Amino acid sequence: GVQAARAGLDGRLQQALDGARERLLDFGAELEARLDHPGEDLGELSDTALIESLDAFAADVRRLAGTWTHTRRRIEGAVVALVGSVNAGKSSLFNHLVGARRALVSDQPGTTRDAVERTVDWDGLQVTFVDTAGRRAASGEIEAAGIALGQALAESADLRLHVFDPRRPSNAFSLPEPTWQVATHADCEARPSAAHHHVSNITEAGLADLRAALSEWLGAVDPAGSALVGSQRQHDLLLRVVDHVERAGEAMVVGVGPVVAAEEVVYALERLGSLAGQNVREDVLDRLFSRFCVGK
């Protein structure tokens, strides 16, 4: 459940935040050494190495912040829309995914004229699958409205599955990312396609792989050993940390020097420290003294 999901995040996330704080303190000490004791060559890194380390750190924190998408899906659920041309096998695939015969299946093109939705428990996640009306030139106002509704639902979904029959010409759809290409009729002699997944609604070939990929993407499967951000606030604070660290690196690149860079690192530490209430400036000075024996 939601409480179990949140509880499982705290330990790994705290370790990641502690590690990030240690790296920032090291950066701060490096810069303070340059600032307070110029000419004494107290730092352990060259300017180039420091800039590269700042860039690498910013990338690591940005990746950590990005795990909020994974966590949010676990907490709030997700919407997956099936889109494609008429008679491509969308409704049959929809029925396989939701585990019940919810969508009408027929060889007659345009059978699904309105969106069909089903919310299911997907490995502990609440996932809503939407079978949208097949795309084609509408034969009337009702069908046109159904196609327009399907387009809107597809664009607002968390993930789109573009379902197509590789044996037939497929209309080119403009769909936002992420969109997976899913080729049906894998049991038939079909021309090769560049689909992410190949499935057969008749033999069920490829369906297990598609389900596994969906589970991983939706967040039902945790990245092994990964720390996961647990709230929007944590996500936003981490991105502010990234901004300050990137500014510190830019200050070193353009030659402004350690004055601006050191301030930006302290700001980054303050953003990170707001999650745990540390005294940032005293900690930077303590690290400076311990690493470089200043004043001893």
* Number of domains the chain is built from: 2
Residues 114 and 213 in one domain: yes
Sequence letter at residue 166: P
- pLDDT at residue number 228: 85
Please indicate, yes or no, whether residues 242 and 279 belong to a single structural domain of this protein.
Answer: yes
Of 218, 249, 284, the last residue of a domain is 218
Last residue of a domain, one of 218, 245, 266: 218
Report which of residues 195 and 9 the model is more confident about.
Answer: 195
CA separation for the pair 75, 2 (Å, rounded) = 6
156 and 277 together in one domain: no
pLDDT-derived band at 290 (thresholds 50, 70, 90) equals low
pLDDT above 80: residue 291: no
Q: Are residues 201 and 243 in the same domain?
A: no
Radius of gyration (C-alpha) of the chain in whole angstroms: 26
pLDDT band for position 105 (50/70/90)?
very low
* Residue at 183 is within a domain: yes
Phi/psi at 277 (5° precision): 75, 35
Domain of 24: which CATH number?
Answer: 1.20.120.430
Check whether 141 has a pLDDT greater than 70: no
E strands, 142-256, in order: 159-164, 179-183, 197-198
**243 within a domain of the structure (yes/no):** yes
pLDDT at 223 (0 to 100): 60
Backbone angles phi, psi at 6, to 5 degrees: -65, -40
57 and 104 both lie in a single domain: no
- Chain mean position to CA 74: 12
For residue 209, pLDDT beyond 60: yes
**Residues 275 and 247 reside in one and the same domain:** yes
Q: Are residues 97 and 214 in the same domain?
A: yes
Please indicate, yes or no, whether residues 160 and 261 belong to a single structural domain of this protein. no
Place of tokens 């009729």: 185
* Strand stretches in the chain, DSSP E: 78-83, 116-122, 125-131, 159-164, 179-183, 197-198
Same domain, yes or no: 252 and 205: no
Rounded to whole angstroms, how far apart are CA atoms 171 and 174? 10
Does 192 map to a domain? Answer: yes
CA dihedral over 14, 15, 20, 22, signed as positive or negative: positive
Same domain, 158 and 263: no
Domain of 162 in residue numbering reads as 77-218
What CATH number is associated with residue 144?
3.40.50.300
The domain boundary residue, chosen from 218, 252, 275: 218
Within a domain: 72: no
Tell me the pLDDT band of 239, cut-offs 50, 70 and 90.
very high
Q: What tokens were used for 126?
A: 């609440």
Say whether pTM exceeds 0.85: no
The burial of 29, by beta-carbon neighbours within 10 Å (0-12 exposed, 13-18 middle, 19 or more buried), is given as: buried
Task: Identify whether 166 is preceded by a cis peptide bond (ω within 30 of 0).
Answer: no
pLDDT at res. 111: 42
Single-letter amino acid code for the residue at 178: P
Share of the chain above pLDDT 90, in %: 40
Residue 127 lies in a domain: yes
* Per-residue confidence (pLDDT) for residue 252, from 0 to 100: 93
Which one, of 116, 109, 118, 108, lies nearest residue 138 by Cα? 109
**Residue 104 pLDDT greater than 80, yes or no:** no
107 confidence band (pLDDT: 50, 70, 90): very low
Whether residue 147 is predicted with pLDDT greater than 60 in this model: the reply is yes
Considering the chain, what percentage of its residues have pLDDT values greater than 70?
Answer: 71
Average pLDDT over residues 154-165: 92
Q: Decide if 225 is inside a domain.
A: no
CA-based nearest residue to 182, from 170, 199, 169: 199
Question: Are 89 and 206 within one domain?
Answer: yes
92 in the same domain as 30:
no
Which residue did the predictor score with more confidence, 152 or 159?
159
User: For residues 20 and 61, what is the distance between their CA atoms, to the nearest angstrom?
Assistant: 8
pLDDT of residue 5: 46
| Mean pLDDT along residues 162-185 | 85
The pLDDT tens digits of the residues spanning 13-64 come to 888 999 999 999 999 888 888 877 666 665 567 889 999 999 999 999 999 9
Q: Are 186 and 167 in contact (CB under 8 A)?
A: no
Task: Report the mean per-residue pLDDT for the chain.
Answer: 80
**Band of residue 74 on the pLDDT scale cut at 50, 70, 90:** confident
Domain assignment present for 230: no
pLDDT value of residue 289: 52
- The amino acid at residue 128 is T
Residue 84 lies in a domain: yes
Supply the pLDDT for residue 204. 93
